[in-house]
Amino acid sequence: MAYDDTLIVDHIKQTHNTELLSEREKHLVGLAVTMTRGCQVCTRNRIEKARGIGISDDELNALVAVTAAVNSGVTGATARVAFGMLEQEQTAECGDVCSPNPE
């Protein structure tokens, strides 16, 4: 049996039908997500669609910069929390609960 993406396509169509965001906003959010997820084909298609509704390359480049900045902030925050967790585990009397090698 071939893959049936009907439920996903229906969900996407329903979500994109919202009137709470403009078409421009939907395109910019979609492009930021595809870049963050690393899908080059999706990103290419979204750039083409964004250009098609009048979003300029200067605006797209600004979006790329903001997306990269947000992602670098998330990367830094994630590392900071992970280092803090390790420090806390190393100084705590937690026994087997946080030991990487429980006995």
| Both structure tokens of 10 | 């229906």
Helix (H) or strand (E) holding 103: none
* CATH number where 61 lies: 1.20.1290.10
Predicted model pTM: 0.71
Angle of CA points 89, 90, 94, to nearest 5°:
55
pLDDT digits 0-9 by tens, 58-98 = 999 999 999 999 999 999 999 999 999 998 888 876 656 66
Q: Say if 97 falls within a structural domain.
A: no
Q: Mean pLDDT, to the nearest integer, of 19-27? A: 94
Q: pLDDT grade, residue 3 (50/70/90)?
A: very high
Contact status, residue 43 vs residue 34, Cβ threshold 8 Å: yes
Please state, rounded to an integer, the average pLDDT across all residues of the chain.
90
Q: Say if 45 falls within a structural domain.
A: yes
- How far is 83 from 86, CA to CA, in rounded Å? 5
Counted residue by residue, the chain has a size of 103
